[in-house]
């Protein structure tokens, strides 16, 4: 069975669960975004490294190519006439190791050694050629056995005349082929079917490990490509993920805190009560009050029921204490006053007919609030019936202005203490309020005929009411024995399942037509 504590605890758990889920979501989203950004950053860095390498070598080769028109005319000139210019070109180009002038396939002039007479194919079997050519090969002239990048410019249609330029690949490697760990573990220069790897040399097949990813960028100006290899983007991003955990944790906690603040109302039972009032989910019931001496129904007590479409039926024992604790009892009481005023046509237009409406002690703390509510919601419809305000003892009653009590009595409003004897300082209520009616709580009525302490208290309450000349109403009358006992002791206003259960307001006129005569007890 639901209780106020249980339902509030349930909402608290739901709120905590939601905040936890939001925190986890923000934590995961932060890590995911960080992972994606890191992966994109890794990819961008690799692209930048490869593009920078391609651009660097393009500039080197373009500088060499720009000297082609200067070097090719030297092919027909004697070596002694060209040697100085060749050496000046080597010094100017900086990355060039040597320049060879070739005539009829014979190297006849070298920038390093001067006059020579060596077949070009002896030093470079893949040269000469009738097209410009760029190749990775082994130096067999100046620094024998070392890798060299050869650039060939033909000077004749048959390709036997021309200029061969050896580019210092070690110097080029220092400028553009250094790895960039952990992002890049290896950088290779690829030309045709040969690859140069720093500290490895020239190889005929690129090195590739199963756990590495290869990224290639080709030059658009020259026939070479830069190949980089390293861990995959996602693996590198995963490596960086632990470093993002503090930030993700901060965002997760921040999101949870914002959610906790934002759901303070919506994820609470007070929000449900506000929603119930706004959506008119609360239904008015009434329970008849029988005058057994006059054999008639003298009035009803208005009761509130709530069939919450989101949570199911919720009893007043659950939502009334929460409404009082969350300062929502005043809107709830106004709702009852307003709805009851709209349904007055269902009750006898008799000034002696009582309609009891429960009002919390909080409604009496301000002299004006209760009077304003009554004027706006009750007296505005010019009611004929007698209004009885039933004060519950769940809240402690503070000082009540005597002027307020006089104003209420002046408007012919009766004051009743509901559930007398079960709440806060009942005797002090009698002194402060001077009530017209005491309603004996059902716990004392049920004790009639037993040896329980409550049975003795029932007799004391009856004697007290009679001594103070306060009208007594017994609640929770369920058996003929209880009714007979109360009547014998002078209590003739009875309310309970013995006579009628709580019923919707629309059913009351039919019940009244059938039972407003000799009292006919109705068993539950």
What is the bridge-based pairing of β-strands 114-119 and 194-197?
A: unpaired
Q: Judge contact between 371 and 406, C-beta under 8 A.
A: no
Instruction: List phi, psi (to 5°) of 396.
Output: -70, 140
Strand, coil or helix: 308: strand
Residues 98 and 109: their CA atoms lie apart, in Å, by 11
Nearest-CA neighbor of 52 among 186, 195, 177? 177
C-beta separation of 228 from 215 below 8 A: yes
Residues 6 or more apart in contact with residue 276 via CB below 8 angstroms: 282, 306, 308
**d(Cα 1, Cα 3) in Å, to the nearest integer?**
7
Do 247 and 34 contact (CB within 8 A), yes or no? yes
Distance CA 217, CA 225 (A): 6
Nearest alpha-carbon partner for 342 in 397, 302, 400, 309: 302
Which residue has 């861990």 as its token pair?
Answer: 231
pLDDT of residue 523: 40
Element (H, E) at 48: helix 4-65
Q: In whole angstroms, what is the distance from residue 288 CA to residue 187 CA? A: 95
Is the domain 67-171 a CATH 3.30.70.270 member?
no
Tell me what pLDDT residue 388 has: 94
Q: What is the pLDDT of residue 520?
A: 43
Same fold, 67-171 and 269-514: no
Q: What is the dihedral of CA 29, 35, 41, 46, to 10 degrees?
A: -160
Let me know how many helices (H) and strands (E) the chain has, helices first: 17, 21
Considering the domain 269-514, what is its CATH architecture? Alpha-Beta Barrel (3.20)
List, in sequence order, every residue forming a beta bridge with 203; answer none if it has no partner. 195
Kindly report the number of other CB atoms within 10 A of residue 336's CB atom: 18
Query: How distant is the alpha carbon of residue 86 from its chain centre?
Result: 73
pLDDT of residue 118: 92
- Tens place of pLDDT per residue across the chain (524 aa): 455 566 667 767 777 888 899 999 998 998 888 888 877 887 888 888 888 889 989 999 999 999 999 999 999 899 999 999 999 999 998 889 999 999 999 999 999 899 999 999 988 888 888 899 999 998 888 888 888 999 999 999 899 999 999 998 887 777 676 666 777 878 889 998 888 887 788 888 777 777 678 888 999 999 999 888 887 766 777 777 787 788 889 988 998 888 877 766 655 677 788 888 888 999 999 999 999 988 899 999 999 999 888 778 888 888 888 888 778 889 999 999 999 999 999 999 999 999 999 988 777 777 688 889 999 999 999 999 999 999 875 555 656 677 888 888 888 999 998 887 776 545 767 777 788 999 998 888 888 877 666 678 888 888 988 998 999 999 999 999 999 999 999 999 999 999 999 999 999 999 999 887 544 444 43
Sorted by where each begins, the domain ranges of the chain are 67-171, 269-514
């Amino acid at each position: 069975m639901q209780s106020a504590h249980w339902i509030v605890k349930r909402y608290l758990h739901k709120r905590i669960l939601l905040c936890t889920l939001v925190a986890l979501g923000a934590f995961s989203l932060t890590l995911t975004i960080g992972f994606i950004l890191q992966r994109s950053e890794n990819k961008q860095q690799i692209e930048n490294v490869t593009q920078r390498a391609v651009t660097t070598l393009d500039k080197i080769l373009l500088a060499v190519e720009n000297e082609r028109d200067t070097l090719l005319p030297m092919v027909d000139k004697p070596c002694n006439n060209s040697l100085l210019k060749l050496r000046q070109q080597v010094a100017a180009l900086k990355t060039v190791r040597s320049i060879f002038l070739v005539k009829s396939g014979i190297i006849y002039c070298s920038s390093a050694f001067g006059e020579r007479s060596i077949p070009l194919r002896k030093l470079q079997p893949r040269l000469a050629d009738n097209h410009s050519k760029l190749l990775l090969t082994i130096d067999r002239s100046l620094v024998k056995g070392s890798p060299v990048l050869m650039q060939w410019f033909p000077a004749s249609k048959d390709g036997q005349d021309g200029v061969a330029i050896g580019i210092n690949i070690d110097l080029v490697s220092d400028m553009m082929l250094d790895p960039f760990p952990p992002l890049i573990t290896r950088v290779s220069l690829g030309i045709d079917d040969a690859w140069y790897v720093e500290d490895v040399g020239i190889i005929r097949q690129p090195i590739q490990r199963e756990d590495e990813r290869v990224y290639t960028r080709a030059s658009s100006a020259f026939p070479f490509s830069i190949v980089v290899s390293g861990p995959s983007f996602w693996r590198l991003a995963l490596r960086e993920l632990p470093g993002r955990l503090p930030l993700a944790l901060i965002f997760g906690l921040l999101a949870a805190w914002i959610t906790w603040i934002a759901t303070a109302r919506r994820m609470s039972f007070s929000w449900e009560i506000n929603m119930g009032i706004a959506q008119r989910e609360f239904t008015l019931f009434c329970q008849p009050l029988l005058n057994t001496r006059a054999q008639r129904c003298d009035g009803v007590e208005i009761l509130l029921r709530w069939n919450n479409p989101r949570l199911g039926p919720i009893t007043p024992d659950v939502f009334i204490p929460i409404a009082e604790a969350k300062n929502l009892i005043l809107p709830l009481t106004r709702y009852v006053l307003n709805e009851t005023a709209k349904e007055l046509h269902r009750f006898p237009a008799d000034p002696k007919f009582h309609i009891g409406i429960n009002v919390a002690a909080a409604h009496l703390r301000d002299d004006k609030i209760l009077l304003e509510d009554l004027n706006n919601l009750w007296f505005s419809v010019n009611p004929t019936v007698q209004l009885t305000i039933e004060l519950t003892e769940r809240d402690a009653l503070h000082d009540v202005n005597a002027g307020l009590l006089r104003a209420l009595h002046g408007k012919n409003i009766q004051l009743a203490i509901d559930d007398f004897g079960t709440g806060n300082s009942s005797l002090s209520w009698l002194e402060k309020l001077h009530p017209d009616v005491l309603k004996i709580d059902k716990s004392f009525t049920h004790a009639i005929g037993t040896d329980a302490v409550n049975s003795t208290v029932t007799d004391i309450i009856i004697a007290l009411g009679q001594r103070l000349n306060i009208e007594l109403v017994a609640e929770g009358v369920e058996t003929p024995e209880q009714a007979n006992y109360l009547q014998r002791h002078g209590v003739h206003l009875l309310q309970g399942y013995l006579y009628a259960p709580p019923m919707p307001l629309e059913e009351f006129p039919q019940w009244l037509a059938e039972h407003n005569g000799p009292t006919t007890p109705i068993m539950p």
